[in-house]
């Protein structure tokens, strides 16, 4: 059950698990290294299974009764597949994916990269030398513009968050959308949008779709939108690694978002033309379960520079390193129990993301290396910056 207060203080609720769309992993869902091996949707329409290599490559993948066998290069680039369909993928000398066949995920893509390994554009219709979608970046590496025949959009940032969309050339007083996030003071997860406001007024409407409210699950994936009146208007479901499905409130399948919403899996931005997620430093393909470029930080998460460490609870908001979410309520002893009960902490090589939800409703979050927990450093840093957190 999802609950959120609207602008009037009334509580809006809806059951975010659609009938038949829950999931289970079963007794053998994870291997000895806590890697996902099986994932079964309740209604049986998308049961999935993986055979994994030592570094986590998908040697074989089964979904809804169809199986694909995959090949990888010595650098762990996903290069081809056979089985239910066949195809090959190509990369440049820096490890950036340059082509993806339609037999993997339509449309077929030819990807073009700049010197900094940022996606400059994509050919989506097979026309040689033509980029139907292009992107621009600022000096901080943030994506600040997208151009397509459907419209040219400029993204305005506050830190790492997009706070407004503008049509290119629009005056500053005329944004297309404005966004509000739960994380406004740096205490919470960066990708938790709660409101999209259409137009230029400073007063939120109480009816209609000019104010849309986001509702998320345990992985910060958006599962529903409600309008200004609190009515559910759109729903979203995902496979274990982020394959997106969109539905009307009554469960009717939609081929795209009626509301042009791009915030979906783990709170990141879905590009419907490319069928890729934008994870800031990199782009992620749910059809492959991996990123299309190498990790700019190197081997911080393991020996594969492409693997997506998402499964059912992990995050990677910057596209550079996996974050583990551990939730606990109240006292330090509760935090310790939650951490020790996490099935994933023993193998973490990078940082984990600790979300602390206190009994009084306040919520804080911290990012630690596993050694910080063992040494007690997390407690000292928490007391230093949030003295009311640890009591």
User: Which pLDDT belongs to residue 309?
Assistant: 86
User: For the segment 155-175, what is each residue's pLDDT rounded down to a tens digit?
Assistant: 999 999 999 999 999 999 999
The residue among 317 and 331 whose pLDDT is bigger is: 317
What does the pLDDT read at residue 343? 44
* 321-330, 342-351, 370-379: segment of lowest average pLDDT: 342-351
Rounded to an integer, what distance in angstroms lies between the CA atom of residue 48 and that of residue 61?
7
Of 46-60, 137-151, 185-199, which gets the smallest average pLDDT?
185-199
| DSSP-assigned states of every residue in 153-212 | EEEEEETTEEEEEEETT--TT--SEEEEES-SSSSS-TT-EEEEEESS-SSPPSSSSSEE
Model pLDDT for residues 204-227, shown as the tens digit of each residue = 888 999 999 999 998 899 999 999
Reply yes or no on whether the pLDDT at 180 is more than 50: yes
Q: What is the sign of the dihedral through the CA atoms of 193, 194, 200 and 202?
A: negative
pLDDT in tens, 357-366: 555 555 566 6
Tell me what percent of the residues of the chain surpass a pLDDT of 70: 77
pLDDT digits (tens, 9 = 90+) for 34-82: 899 999 988 888 899 999 999 999 999 999 999 999 999 999 999 999 9
Structure confidence at residue 359 (pLDDT): 56
3-state secondary structure of 107: coil
Q: Is the pLDDT of residue 331 over 90?
A: no
Q: What pLDDT does residue 22 have?
A: 85
Q: What is the pLDDT of residue 283?
A: 98
Range of lowest pLDDT (18-27, 149-158, 169-178, 303-312): 18-27
Confidence of residue 389 (pLDDT cuts 50, 70, 90): very low
66, with CB counted inside 10 A (0-12, 13-18, 19+), is exposed
pTM for the structure as a whole: 0.87
Tell me what the mean pLDDT of segment 193-205 comes to.
90
Q: What is the pLDDT of residue 388?
A: 45
Nearest Cα to 163, choosing from 149, 184, 147, 138? 184
Confidence of residue 387 (pLDDT cuts 50, 70, 90): very low
Of 258 and 336, the one with more pLDDT:
258
pLDDT at 181: 94
> Could you read off the pLDDT of 224-243 as tens digits, one per residue?
999 999 999 999 999 999 99
CB 218 within 8 A of CB 266: no
Q: What is the pLDDT of residue 201?
A: 84
Q: What kind and span of H or E run contains 48?
A: strand 48-52
Higher pLDDT: 32 or 265? It is 265
- Categorize the per-residue pLDDT at 345 as very low, low, confident or very high, splitting at 50, 70 and 90: very low
pLDDT at 43: 86
| pLDDT score, position 312 | 75
Give the Cα separation of 119 and 144 in Å (integer): 12
CA–CA gap between residue 80 and residue 65 (Å, rounded): 20
Report helix, strand or coil for 248: strand
């Amino acid at each position: 059950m999802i609950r959120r207060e609207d602008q009037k203080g009334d509580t809006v609720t809806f059951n975010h698990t659609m009938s038949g769309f829950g999931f289970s992993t079963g007794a053998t869902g994870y291997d000895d290294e806590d890697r996902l091996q099986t994932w079964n949707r309740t209604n049986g329409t998308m049961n999935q299974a993986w055979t994994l290599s030592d570094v986590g490559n998908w040697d074989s993948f089964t979904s809804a009764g169809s199986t694909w066998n995959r090949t990888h290069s010595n650098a762990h680039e996903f290069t081809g597949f056979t089985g239910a369909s066949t195809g090959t993928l190509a990369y440049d000398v820096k490890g950036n994916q340059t082509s993806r066949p339609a037999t993997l995920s339509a449309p077929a893509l030819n990807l073009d990269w700049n010197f900094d390994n940022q996606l400059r554009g994509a050919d989506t219709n097979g026309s040689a030398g033509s980029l139907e979608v292009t992107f621009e970046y600022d000096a901080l590496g943030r994506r600040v513009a997208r151009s397509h025949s459907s419209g040219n959009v400029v993204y305005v940032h506050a830190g790492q968050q997009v706070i407004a969309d503008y049509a290119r050339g629009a005056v500053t007083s005329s944004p297309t959308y404005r966004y509000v996030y739960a994380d406004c003071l740096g205490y919470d997860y960066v990708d938790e949008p709660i409101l999209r406001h259409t137009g230029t007024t400073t007063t939120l409407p109480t009816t209609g779709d000019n104010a849309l409210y986001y509702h998320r699950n345990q992985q910060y994936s958006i599962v529903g939108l409600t309008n200004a009146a609190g009515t559910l208007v759109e729903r979203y479901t995902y496979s274990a690694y982020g394959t997106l499905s969109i539905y009307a409130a009554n469960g009717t399948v939609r081929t795209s978002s009626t509301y042009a919403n791009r915030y979906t899996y783990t709170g990141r931005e879905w590009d419907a033309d490319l069928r890729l997620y934008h994870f800031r430093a990199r782009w992620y393909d749910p059809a492959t379960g991996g990123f299309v470029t190498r990790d700019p930080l190197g081997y911080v998460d393991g020996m594969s520079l492409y693997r997506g460490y998402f499964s059912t609870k992990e995050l990677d908001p910057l596209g550079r390193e996996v974050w583990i979410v551990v939730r606990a309520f109240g006292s330090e002893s509760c935090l310790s129990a939650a951490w020790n009960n996490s099935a994933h902490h023993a193998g973490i090589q990078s940082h984990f993301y600790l979300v602390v939800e206190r009994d009084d409703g306040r919520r804080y979050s911290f990012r630690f290396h596993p050694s910080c927990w063992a040494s007690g450093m997390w407690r000292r840093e928490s007391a230093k910056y949030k003295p009311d957190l640890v009591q």
